[in-house]
């Protein structure tokens, strides 16, 4: 037990030395300032409003503010190597353990404060426990990953960089690479992972990018600690030892492969020249396509990628029609296409699929197999249409399945959806069995995520629980709409709160008995009641 007591003594020494430094007070001041700013962000119209989702949206700020002072603190711990240790012959493994444990105490204290803060905010906001657990766990994962990474890199810098000016320059450069103040999201940076475009519907996508982000920084943490351990045992030459080189090359190789594999999941901008949703679904508009779509039969797989085996039944109304033009989101790759069970040539021009009609049958069966990533945002509208293993929003004019130019008539839809997890998918189609949906409508939507449903009177509301958890909050929504929109809402049984998805239309009336409302993201007005 002598070794254990020596480690305890070393930990005490590190913490006592730390208490004497003003940098500790700076960490506390910056963290509290960051919290104040996050809370202040809930102020609107001179009224203080607090929602858990709006709080978590900005919680990266206090964590980012303490990156630099924490790096300095951990680098000082990593550099600790007094003559006393050498005289009493402290083993390298004991020095390594003491530095890591002392750093973990500091990190654990910050995480404890974070946890208490989240509990208080959740209690004040009176949110359901399951909802709180989901949202706060993502924040804690982010905080833990950020702090542990800062700890590992700080210890490593302190161990091997002995010239102060170089150390501080390196810390500053590191901060510039991992902070959230000016960076959009990507796989590696910033360190605190948030979606580039967020909504109350989905703050953080828990799909492939988030998982890759966790894996990458976990590898960086492990590598930092391994190099620190080697360095404690071999002194200054530890960093350039064979073992260090091998570990570094392996980790960098793995990280590179992960980055290359996940770059495709980054969000892309999606916009239309004009929001023509009213024209597209106008029943009185003349159909110039030369054909009518009668029926869709889709086999959809929603996991890492969106995949669809789509059968389309078409009735030709123009005998002179030589080509059939369908529209499909250009990021979705067509892998197979056949007409009446025969492979046929086609052209792809942006969102357009142009199929050569080589038969004069009036009824055609087109099969299109395609796959790709759906993760879009608007120039000013925020998060738009997306599909991943944890959340889905596919609706309106967005061409996530092949569509004609004119859409103002009912079609028959049959969907078989394969997905992981047990989250419920909401749709204007009828759910006939697990994963199967059928019905007729002009258009279809699919909605899934960390959302719930509430019933008030004759209406069913679906969305973020903080928007719909009381009758009073739902009634606040009515103040946003004009008389015509209110009348429309009263006629519908189901009201879905979705991410912001269009430019001009607050309420879309293209679904039977369903209304999608996409203008409430982060509007603190809703939390006032």
Domain boundaries, the chain: 2-264, 274-448, 451-529
pLDDT score of 528: 43
User: Which of 309-318, 466-475, 480-489, 510-519 is the most confident on average?
Assistant: 309-318
- Which residues are bridge partners to 433 per DSSP? 436
Between 279 and 350, whose confidence is greater? 350
Statement: residue 231 has pLDDT above 90? no
Write out pLDDT tens, residues 232-252: 776 555 556 777 778 888 888
Class of domain 274-448: mainly beta
User: Which of 94-103, 107-116, 256-265 is the most confident on average?
Assistant: 107-116
pLDDT score of 94: 74
Statement: residue 301 has pLDDT above 90? yes
Cα-based angle 414, 417, 421 (whole degrees, multiple of 5): 155
Write out pLDDT tens, residues 312-362: 999 988 878 888 899 999 999 999 999 888 888 888 988 899 988 777 788
Between 20 and 137, whose confidence is greater? 137
Q: Residue 42 — pLDDT band, cuts 50, 70, 90? A: low
User: Which of 173-177, 394-398, 410-414 is the most confident on average?
Assistant: 410-414
The stretch 442-456 carries a mean pLDDT of 89
Q: Residue 65 — pLDDT band, cuts 50, 70, 90? A: very high
Q: Residue 117 — pLDDT band, cuts 50, 70, 90? A: very high
pLDDT score of 13: 66
- Average confidence score pLDDT of the chain: 81
pLDDT score of 504: 46
CA separation for the pair 297, 240 (Å, rounded): 61
Give me the helices (H) in 273-400, please: 277-280
Residue 45, CA distances (Å) to 48, 104, 209, 522, 524 in order? 8, 42, 37, 14, 10
pLDDT score of 107: 93
Q: Residue 529 — pLDDT band, cuts 50, 70, 90? A: very low
The helix/strand/coil state of 286 is coil
Q: pTM for the complete prediction?
A: 0.83
CA pseudo-torsion sign 409, 296, 499, 181: negative
- For 210-229, letters b (16+ CB in 10 Å) and e give bebbbebbebbbebbbbbbb
Element (H, E) at 514: strand 514-517
Q: Are 266 and 210 in contact (CB under 8 A)?
A: no
DSSP assignment of 217-235 equals HHHHHHHHHHHHHHHHHHG
Statement: residue 92 has pLDDT above 50? yes
Residue 157 C-beta-side C-alpha neighbours within 13 Å: 26
Percentage of residues of the chain with pLDDT beyond 70 = 83
CA separation for the pair 463, 450 (Å, rounded): 8
Q: Residue 7 — pLDDT band, cuts 50, 70, 90? A: low
CA separation for the pair 262, 117 (Å, rounded): 33
Total Cβ atoms within 10 A of residue 258: 19
Q: By mean pLDDT, which of 67-81, 137-151, 470-484 is the weakest? A: 470-484
């Amino acid at each position: 037990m002598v070794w254990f007591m020596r480690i305890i003594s070393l930990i005490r020494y590190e913490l006592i030395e730390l208490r004497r430094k003003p940098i500790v007070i700076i960490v506390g001041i910056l963290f509290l300032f960051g919290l104040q700013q996050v809370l202040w962000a809930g102020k609107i119209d001179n009224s203080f409003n607090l929602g858990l989702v709006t709080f978590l949206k900005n919680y990266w700020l206090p964590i980012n503010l303490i990156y630099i002072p924490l790096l300095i603190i951990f680098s000082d711990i990593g550099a600790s190597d007094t003559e006393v240790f050498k005289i009493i012959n402290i083993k390298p493994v004991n020095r390594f353990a003491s530095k890591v444990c002392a750093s973990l105490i500091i990190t654990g204290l910050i995480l404890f404060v974070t946890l208490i803060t989240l509990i208080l905010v959740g209690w004040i906001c009176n949110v359901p426990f399951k909802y709180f657990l989901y949202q706060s766990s993502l924040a804690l994962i982010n905080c833990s990953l950020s702090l542990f990474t800062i700890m590992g890199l700080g210890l490593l810098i302190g161990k091997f960089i002995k010239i102060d000016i170089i150390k501080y320059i390196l810390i500053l450069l590191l901060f510039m690479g991992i902070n959230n103040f000016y960076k959009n999201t990507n796989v590696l940076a910033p360190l605190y992972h948030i979606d580039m475009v967020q909504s109350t519907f989905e703050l953080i996508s828990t799909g492939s990018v988030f998982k890759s982000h966790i894996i990458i920084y976990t590898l960086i943490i492990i590598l930092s600690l391994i190099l620190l351990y080697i360095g404690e045992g071999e002194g200054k030459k530890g960093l350039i030892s064979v073992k260090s080189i091998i570990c570094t090359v392996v980790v960098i190789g793995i990280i590179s492969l992960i980055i290359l594999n996940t770059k495709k999941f980054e969000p892309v901008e999606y916009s239309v020249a004009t929001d023509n949703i009213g024209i597209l679904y106008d029943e009185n508009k003349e159909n110039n396509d030369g054909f009518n779509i009668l029926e869709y039969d889709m086999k959809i797989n929603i996991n890492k990628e969106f995949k669809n085996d789509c059968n389309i039944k078409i009735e030709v109304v123009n005998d002179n029609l030589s080509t059939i033009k369908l529209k499909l989101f250009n990021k979705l790759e067509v892998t197979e296409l056949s007409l009446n069970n025969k492979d046929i040539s086609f052209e792809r021009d942006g969102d357009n699929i142009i199929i050569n009609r080589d038969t004069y049958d009036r009824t055609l069966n087109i099969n299109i197999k395609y796959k790709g990533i759906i993760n879009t945002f608007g120039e000013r509208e925020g998060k738009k249409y997306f599909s991943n293993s944890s959340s889905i929003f596919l609706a309106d004019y967005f061409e996530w399945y092949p569509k004609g130019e004119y859409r103002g008539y009912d079609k028959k839809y049959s969907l078989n959806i394969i997905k992981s997890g047990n989250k419920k998918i909401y749709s204007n189609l009828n759910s006939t069995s697990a994963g199967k949906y059928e019905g007729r409508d002009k258009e279809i939507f699919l909605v899934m995520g960390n959302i719930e449903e509430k019933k008030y009177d004759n209406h069913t509301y679906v969305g973020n629980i903080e928007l719909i958890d009381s009758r009073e909050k739902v009634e606040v929504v009515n103040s946003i709409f004009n008389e015509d929109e209110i009348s429309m809402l009263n006629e519908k049984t189901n009201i879905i709160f979705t991410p912001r998805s269009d430019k001009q239309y607050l309420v879309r009336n293209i679904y039977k008995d369903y209304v999608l409302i996409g203008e409430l993201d982060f509007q603190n007005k809703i939390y006032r009641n």
